[in-house]
Amino acid sequence: MPGPVALSLRALGAAGERWLAELPGLLAGLEADWSITVGAGLDGGSASYVAEAVTHDGTPVVVKVSLPPGMAEFAPFERQLAALRLAGGDPYVALLRHDEPRRAVLLERLGRPMASLGWPAARQLDALARTAARGWRRVPDDGRFTGWVEAARWHAGFAPSAWEELSRPCPEAVIDLAVRCAAAREAAFDPGRAVLVHADVHNLNALRAPGTGFRLVDPEGHVSEPAHDLGVIQARGVQGWIDELATRDPRHVRELVARSCRRAGRLTGADPEAVWQWAFVEMVSTGLFLLRLRRHTEARTLLAVAGKLAGAQVVRRG
């Protein structure tokens, strides 16, 4: 079991232990029902078990089984499934089969993740932004997805509560700014600009597709502004970018992030200030969430960068 998944199972307690014990039987049932042979496990984030598989005719595919409910920070399986079904493929991974009661999906097999290609951080950030933008589309407001306002309010509530729960692991100014940024994005709500966004675009979720492009796996299924996706990319899209920022002085960090947000805006037409605000919110919430999972190195790097960004930042609402 990959390390991040094992940490999530530990956090789920008895429910995680039960799920792990039942996983072999669940996979055997999927093999019989879907006429597949399941192979080796793959690295697939922290919210699901992912494995290679082949169909009865030898077509390579991927089977993914989501962890049981119990962690509010993970997107519900039903919402992820709805996003994949609505997208219908490019730029998302193609959905071949699904089983809601067993929280399982069968997906097309894609190529290597962007993270493995050795590209400079700036090139990865650009490619992630362009890939995410291909998926932005209007969707019916039928309650299947987390909304723009709901997402902003969730972050505004999660950051201070998790900060207290985790014994205040970063300066209070960081939390205050995250709450103000979330409030600014809520105040800017415009239903005319709300689209389906992936909400977890990073270089391990972007896999090579036939041709020269990428497809995205593991959508969280939000209906928000395009700047939300771009903010996620700035916050956690490329770990090497965050690691680099952590080594710089605060003034340089603020300059680099502002410049990167402006470039994302030029590539996609999004408001750079909105990108910055979502980036900061996502950086803080992700850092606190990773601390909960005891992924201390990644968490403290994110919170350190957020601390450098928090200096002398003015937030404009609307």
Domain ranges, ordered by start, for the chain? 3-108, 114-309
CB within 8 A of 183, min separation 6: which ones? 152, 156, 317
Tell me which residue has tokens 């996979």.
27
Q: Is 114-309 in the same CATH topology as 3-108?
A: no
The architecture of the domain spanning 3-108 is: 2-Layer Sandwich (3.30)
Give the CATH H-level superfamily of domain 114-309: Aminoglycoside phosphotransferase (APH), C-terminal lobe (3.90.1200.10)
pLDDT at 5: 84
How many Cβ atoms sit within 10 Å of the Cβ of residue 232?
A: 27
| Higher-pLDDT residue of 5, 54 | 54
Say how far apart CA 101 and CA 84 lie, in whole Å: 17
pLDDT at 73: 63
pLDDT at 314: 45
Q: For residue range 168-217, list pLDDT tens digits in order.
A: 999 999 999 999 999 999 999 999 999 999 999 999 999 999 876 999 99
In the predicted structure, residue 41 carries a pLDDT above the cut 70? yes
Q: Is the pTM of this model over 0.85?
A: yes
